[in-house]
Amino acid sequence: MKYEVDLLGFYGKYGGSFVPELLHANIKELENNYKKIISEVAFQKEYYSLLQDYVGRPSPLFYAKRLSERYKTNIYLKREDLNHTGAHKINNTIGQILLAKRMKKNRIIAETGAGQHGVATATVCALMGLSCIIYMGEKDIKRQAPNVARMKMLGAQVRAVSSGSKTLKDATNEAIRDWINNPIDTHYIIGSVVGPHPYPEMVTLFQSVISEEMKKQLMDKIGRSYPDRIIACIGGGSNAAGAYYHYLDNNKVELVSVEAGGLGIHSGKSAASSILGSDGVIHGSLTLLMQDQDGQIEEPYSISAGLDYPGIGPLHAHLIRTGRTKVLYATDLEALTAGFLLAELEGIIPALESAHALAALEKINFRKQEHTVVNLSGRGDKDMQAYMEYKNRKKDGKK
Amino acid sequence: MGKNRLDKLFNQQKEEVLSIYITTGYPKIDSMPILVEALANLGVDFIEVGMPYSDPLADGDTIQYSSSIALKNGINLDKYFEQVQYVRSKVTIPLLFMGYFNQLLRVGIDAFLSKCVQSGIDGLILPDMPPELYEKKYKATFEKYDLSLSFLITPTTSDERIRLLDKLSTGFVYVVSTSSTTGNVTAFSDEQVQYFKRIKKLKLNNPTIIGFGISNREKFLIANKFTNGAIIGSSFIKALKHAQNIKTTTEEFVTKIKKG
Ligand SMILES: Cc1ncc(COP(=O)(O)O)c(C=O)c1O
């Protein structure tokens, strides 16, 4: 594979481990153990059996007929929204909780933006009987209230983060600081393909089940194992990394990543991290991120809490810089519109994050015979408030 | 080497080296030069001059807070170097840049270090500089500018890695007193003392300075039993938070540490 990490944890020039020495022992312990543990037969068996019986995998690959007609092409939805807890995030938390147990960690911490990763972490902690602390920005606690309630019902402690932009970036800082302060008994379940090596690689592997299933499902449906194009949104990039993984070396598959354009990418209020980004270090990895001329990380904005992050995973930085993936963006408004369109045409309410991927359909020139897969990373229950506000605004004749 | 003020300090003084950390731009945008001058006059031995960062992973609540205020006050790199250059014309005390790797990366390592030298900085502390990368890519540039770089070691750092970090460090080795970003208890635990003993026994090539959680004279004196001195950060920043007059507060603070 051309797109694997090297020995120091770099994808090309991106990645690595830029962490304070205070965190070095934790990261090293993980790095030294995780490959061995996850390749054990017993681990694999337990992982896949939980994915099947608990998560409900394989997630369907659904031919979206009316959507296909509208765009005059063939569109399939990879239904990660149908997973237990409502998003792809649980593929990763199942893997990491099994790892944590084998490493004898009994205290789990995680950050969350949209709350989907927080819920998925709280869920597996309940399942395994481990204690769970979730860091979440104050702003996100307000806009993703249903998920906060779910985490609490699942027995997790939700800690509000009030530093910086009070969103995902700052929640991640706090989770990392917690891990520094609790180096022995704690495992940090990071929620995306971000952070110091080996996290980006590990989370990619746990999410790669998405493209693993797609290969079989496409073979059944269209007689070949690959599509012409895959579209996914990127916050940190975990659902995209999982949907791309088994196709990275297959250049017949066009990979399209969709970033959050917020109020417009030149409005100063967006989370178009790679489009506006430059090389820099965030959360322990060298990648593309939004920063000022002094290297201060900028506060992003998106209506979607899961995409409201100023960086992207280092694998994506590498894929973008080598031209393997193409990056588009969708604004808040375009995403909301796409969300309503999917509800109307297919009876599916997508998460606002996934709605960004769907919005990209408007920006691509399709050929009729092509097969495009949109990774529908999650369901929209958590976003009903934002959808309804938009609808009411439209009814009142405002934008 | 020879011109470096920090090297000179450690050549002359092996014991009870006292360093104070300050956040540039805090409590007011132009407080730093006033504080540096006051600290130098009070016989403090070197100063960690912090450049606030948006995402300071290795800092506890107090310094994070001071950094966010300083950024709101409008501190930036240009102003930082201007203030350093200004105060350098008044004092000879060694001044260290304390910040994060991304701040160097963004400007370019060579350009950044060149600015450090021009303004009168003697060395750097970068908690998230990876030692392997430093050795491979940046060490030569630091040497070219005769700037020290002090790596951090912690209670979870193995002896073998401590040797590596000692080998790569110049100036001194920064002994983080706890595996914690917020070690603000009033006395050292037995575990911490054991860890200091372990460091002392290793007889490192560089001088050693203990930092994180040094909050009073008692802790400063204990630190001195095992290492060449100590750095005080959060505790001083806290004192500044409620200061009517930062000069008097600084005098009171340093006198308490030095004389009890
Ligand atoms: C449904 C959904 N999709 C996408 C994302 C973005 O994360 P990633 O880019 O890691 O897939 C999130 C994050 O919270 C999410 O909840």
Please say if the pLDDT value at position A397 is more than 80.
no
Average pLDDT over residues B50-79: 95
pLDDT at A383: 95
Domain housing B44: 17-259
- Here the CATH number for the domain that contains residue B58 is 3.20.20.70
- Report strand pairing: A14-15 vs A10-11: antiparallel
| Nearest atom of ligand 1 to the alpha carbon of A81 | 1
Residue nearest to atom 15 of ligand 1 (CA): A306
Ligand 1 center–CA A116 separation, angstroms: 8
Catalytic positions of B are 48, 59
pLDDT in tens, A83-107: 999 999 999 999 999 999 999 999 9
Contact at CB, B179 and A22, closer than 8 angstroms: yes
Q: Which of A79, A352, A353 has most ligand 1 atoms within 8 Å of CB, for mutation?
A: A353
B60 within 8 A of B182, measured Cβ to Cβ: yes
Please name the residue whose Cα sits nearest to atom 12 of ligand 1: A306
Whether residue A236 has pLDDT greater than 70: yes
Class of domain A54-86+207-395: alpha beta
Give residue B180's pLDDT.
72
What per-residue confidence (pLDDT) applies to B1? 45
Q: For the domain made up of A13-50+89-203, give the CATH fold.
A: Rossmann fold (3.40.50)
Cβ of A306 less than 6 Å from ligand 1: yes
Mean pLDDT calculated for residue range A248-261: 98
Confirm whether B1 is domain-assigned: no
pLDDT at B2 over 70: no
Q: Are A376 and A350 in contact (CB under 8 A)?
A: yes
DSSP letter for A305, please. G
DSSP string, A129-153: T-EEEEEEEHHHHHHTHHHHHHHHH
Determine the distance separating the centroid of ligand 1 and the alpha carbon of A247, expressed in angstroms. Answer: 20
Average pLDDT over residues A187-198: 98
Query: Which one has a higher pLDDT value, A398 or A277?
Result: A277
The catalytic residue positions of A are: 89, 111, 377
| A240 Cα: distance to centroid of ligand 1 (angstroms) | 9
Measure CB to CB from residue B152 to each of A20, A173, A183 and give the nearest one.
Answer: A20
The whole-number average pLDDT for the span A141-168 is: 94
pLDDT at A175 over 90: yes
Q: Is B190 on the interface with A (CB under 8 A)?
A: no
Percentage of chain A modeled with pLDDT above 90: 96
* Rounded Cα distance, A163 and B69, in Å: 11
Partner residue facing A20 (CB), from B57, B105, B161: B57
Nearest C-alpha neighbor of A167 from the set A108, A120, A236: A236
Ligand 1: distance of its center to the CA of A189 in Å?
A: 15
* Alpha helices for B46-135 (secondary structure H): 61-72, 77-88, 101-107, 109-119, 131-133
State which H helix or E strand residue B256 sits in.
Answer: helix B246-259
Q: Is A268 on the interface with B (CB under 8 A)?
A: no
Q: Which of A18, A173, A179, A290 is the best mutation test for B, with the most CBs of B within 10 A?
A: A18
Q: Do domains A13-50+89-203 and A54-86+207-395 have the same CATH topology?
A: yes
Q: Is A165 on the interface with B (CB under 8 A)?
A: no
- Residue with CA nearest ligand 1 atom 16: A116
For a pLDDT cut of 90, what percent of chain B falls above it?
A: 90
| B107-131 pLDDT tens trace | 999 999 999 999 999 999 999 999 9
ipTM over 0.90: yes
In tens, the pLDDT along A321-349 reads 999 999 999 999 999 999 999 999 999 99
Interchain proximity A281–B77, CB inside 8 Å: no
Inter-chain CB pairs, A–B, below 8 Å: 106
Q: For residue range B194-214, what is the model confidence (pLDDT) as tens digits?
A: 999 999 999 999 999 999 989
Scanning every residue of chain A, which has its alpha carbon at the shortest distance from the alpha carbon of B156? A25
DSSP characters over A70-83: HHTSEEEEEEGGGS
Contact B54 A296 (CB under 8 A): yes
**What is the number of domains present in chain B?**
1
Domain contains B10: no
Q: Please tell me the predicted confidence (pLDDT) of residue B179.
A: 78
pLDDT for residue A398 is more than 70: no
**B105 at A interface, C-beta within 8 A:** yes
For residue B7, tell me if it sits in a domain. no
**Residue closest to B232 by CA, chosen among B33, B20, B14, B18:** B20
The finding on whether A260 has its CB within 6 A of some atom of ligand 1 is: no
pLDDT tens, residue by residue, B88-106: 999 999 999 999 999 999 9
pLDDT at B82 over 90: yes
Domain boundaries along the sequence of chain A: 13-50+89-203, 54-86+207-395
In Å, the largest CA–CA distance within chain A is 59
Residue B252 lies in a domain: yes
Distance (angstroms) between ligand 1 centre and the Cα of A245 equals 16
Residue of A57, A67, A126 whose CA lies nearest to A87: A57
Whether A238 is in the pocket of ligand 1, judged by its Cβ within 6 Å, is yes
pLDDT tens digits, residue range B141-196? 999 999 999 999 999 999 999 999 999 999 999 999 987 765 556 789 999 999 99
H helices of chain A, where? 21-38, 41-50, 65-71, 89-102, 116-128, 138-143, 145-153, 168-181, 199-207, 209-222, 238-244, 314-321, 332-346, 352-359, 384-395
Of the candidates B77, B104, B153, the beta carbon closest to that of A21 is on B153
Token pair for residue A117? Answer: 């990763």
Residues 6 or more apart in contact with residue B204 via CB below 8 angstroms: B162, B163, B166, B173
Residue B30 maps to a domain: yes
Look at residues A319, A336, A337 and name the one whose alpha carbon lies nearest to residue A327: A319
Asked if the Cβ–Cβ distance from B176 to A21 is below 8 Å, we say yes
Q: Is A110 in the pocket of ligand 1 (CB under 6 A)?
A: no
Who contacts B165 (Cβ-Cβ below 8 Å, separation ≥6)? A21, B131, B151, B152, B153, B157, B173
List alpha helices for B147-203, DSSP H. Answer: 159-168, 190-202
What type of residue is A335?
A: A
For tokens 């630091």, name the residue: B142
Average pLDDT over residues B26-38: 98
- Which of B106, B113, B99 shows the shortest CA–CA distance to B58? B99
Name the helix (H) or strand (E) containing B238. helix B234-241
Locate the ligand 1 atom nearest the alpha carbon of residue A234 and give its number: 9
